[in-house]
Chains A and B, each alone.
Chain A
Amino acid sequence: SYVLTQPPSVSVAPGQTARITCGGDNIGHKSVQWYQQKPGQAPVLVVYGDSDRPSGIPERYSGSNSGNTATLTIRRVEAGDEADYSCQVWDSSSDHPVVFGGGTKLTVL
């Protein structure tokens, strides 16, 4: 089945830009979603379709996807952005169609 690889952790200072990657074979040919999960809370969709934001998600959150890597970018990072972030794709050719990455813990220093 398809595999998505994320770094376990990313650290960034407040006000800086955080970039969280999601690697997969030709992931640029798939649509990537990103979910934010704060401790004790349910996941929240922050990016879908590689780069679209649901209503209510700040413009500071953006996504890109090309080749073998998708990236979630968070500009002007705030303390409230500290959370786990997981990528997700639909592998339509597989019996295991929904695939999540292992998650990345974003720490705001």
Chain B
Amino acid sequence: DVKLVESGGGLVQPGGSLRLSCAASGFTFKNSWMTWVRQAPGKGLEWVATIQEDGSAKYYVDSVKGRFTISRDNAKNSLFLQMSSLRVDDTALYYCARDRFVGATMWFFDFWGQGSLVTVSS
């Protein structure tokens, strides 16, 4: 079974840094694009960042560009999100998800982790 387990969340002050991890199992991680999606309290889902299978291409939502870095270690079946210069509005539950592409028109997420809570507050 596909399993995604996030860790690394916590309480951090504005301007601080945090590194999230996602441990993957049950599928061939090195062949999968991976994505971070976040959900602020009481709000909808928001795409944050995506990384290609070999890490050669990375994509970010504008609000985190220059502050967050997505990376992966295919030897350890792990996905990461390094977050710096954190702001109060980065407070959210951060999910890692496995990407799936079908043809040239479908990009979606077929498996999700349970999420890791990041709280940015003084």
Q: Which residues of A contact B (CB under 8 A)?
A: 30-31, 33, 35, 41-45, 48-49, 54, 86, 88, 90, 92, 95-103
Contact = CB atoms under 8 A, between A and B. Distances in A.
Contacts of B35: 98
A100 B44 contact: yes
14 contacts: A31-B106, A33-B108, A42-B95, A42-B112, A42-B115, A43-B109, A45-B109, A48-B102, A86-B44, A90-B105, A90-B106, A90-B107, A100-B46, A100-B47
Contacts of A44: 112
Contacts of A101: 44
A88 B44 CA distance: 11
Contacts of B108: 33, 45, 48, 88, 90
A97 B110 contact: no
Contacts of A45: 108-110
B13 interface: no
A97 B107 CA distance: 9
B102 A103 contact: no
Contact of B59 (A35, A97, A100): A97
Interface in B7-55: 35, 37, 43-47, 50
Interface string B78-110: 000000000000000001010010101111111
A60 B5 CA distance: 30
A95 B95 CA distance: 21
Given A33-B108, A43-B95, A48-B102, A98 B114 contact: no
Given A31-B106, A90-B105, A90-B107, A96 B112 contact: no
B60 to A, nearest CB: 9
Contact of A99 (B47, B62, B104, B106): B47
A24 B107 CA distance: 17
Contacts of B45: 35, 43, 86, 88, 100, 103
B103 to A, nearest CB: 8
A95 B62 contact: yes
B112 A43 contact: yes
Nearest to A102: B44
